[in-house]
Amino acid sequence: PIAWFNGRFQPLEEIRLSPLDRGFLFADGVYEVIPVYQGHPFQLEAHLDRLDYSLDGIRLPNPMSRQDWREMVETLIQGNGGGDMTIYFQVTRGADHQRDHGFPGDDVEATRFAMASPLPVLPERIRREGARACLVADTRWARCDIKSIALLPNVLAKQQAREQGADEALFHRDGELVEGSSTTLFLVVDGVILTPPKSHAILPGITRDVIIELAKEAGLSVRQEAIPLSRLSQASEAWISSSSREMVPLTRVGEQPIGQGDPGPVWKRLQDALVKTSRQNRSE
């Protein structure tokens, strides 16, 4: 596969990174993941806006213009066959001459990396029965709205889920559901779609925004509000969403089934709408 490193397109396996890179030493960087359908990136501008937001959040100037980002993504898609894929990219604060927590001088350039990967395929069991989640205490930092490459709590939570036979870990904090380890959480309670409001506690999901828009277009009511853990037992449906996995129905949390324990009609309706809108060859 063709990847991209500091402005150059080259095979992924030929890319070499300094051990002094601050991404490696401090996880001092941010990233994005963009889905591509039939060669067309979905919500590219929203992802580039969020990249700017994350870079602002860690006080790292964007090393490239918006147009340069667009062209890089386009070339990477074409260089990898132009079908369905995800584009991952990250920016770190570069490689200094020594290990020092404080920012390096202006002579140190940000490290820029991007690669294409296949879109993950949903296992047949999840497609049929929906996904299972486990609950994990949210021990992350107070700026989860920044898409930071520091993902250790997310890594540990996902592994804990795996070891418990679950597909995703749902973070909870102060008696409230927050989000998945790499997904946004939605519940349906009394016919109303609920998802936590944007705040420093969650990543502002791009898919989240699209789903809320589609729900409103479909005349469904959506409330962005805190979700106490007790809501789980009242929910008729739940799902998780992300750029690479769209909407995945959540039919069990721990030992507890959600609703009837099957993928529900609201999920189905909105997932169909999401597939439709994301395959319309639009890039914004």
Q: Is 278 in the site for ligand PLP (CB under 6 A)?
A: no
Three-state secondary structure along the chain? CEEEECCEEEEHHHCCCCCCEHHHHHCCEEEEEEEEECCEECCHHHHHHHHHHHHHHCCCCCCCCHHHHHHHHHHHHHHCCCCCEEEEEEEECCECCCCCCCCCCCCCCCEEEEEEECCCCCCHHHHHHCEEEEEEECCCCCCCCCCECCCHHHHHHHHHHHHCCCCEEEEEECCEEEEECCCEEEEEECCEEEECCCCCCCCCCHHHHHHHHHHHHCCCCEEECCEEHHHHHHCCEEEEEECCCEEEEEEEECCEECCCCCCCHHHHHHHHHHHHHHCCCCCC
Query: Per-residue x/- mask for ligand PLP, residues 218 to 257, rule CB under 6 A?
Result: -----------------------xxx--------------
- Check if 147 is active-site: yes
Q: Is 211 or 235 the residue whose CB approaches ligand PLP more closely? A: 211
**Piece of the chain touching ligand PLP by CB under 6 A; list 13-21, 112-120, 180-188, 250-258:** 180-188
- Check if 37 is active-site: no
- Check if 88 is active-site: no
Q: Is 179 in the site for ligand PLP (CB under 6 A)?
A: yes
- Binding positions for ligand PLP, 181-220, rule CB under 6 A: 182-184, 203, 205-208
- Binding positions for ligand PLP, 135-174, rule CB under 6 A: none
- Check if 31 is active-site: yes
- Binding positions for ligand PLP, 14-43, rule CB under 6 A: 33
Question: Which positions lie near ligand PLP, rule CB under 6 A?
Answer: 33, 179, 182-184, 203, 205-208, 241-243
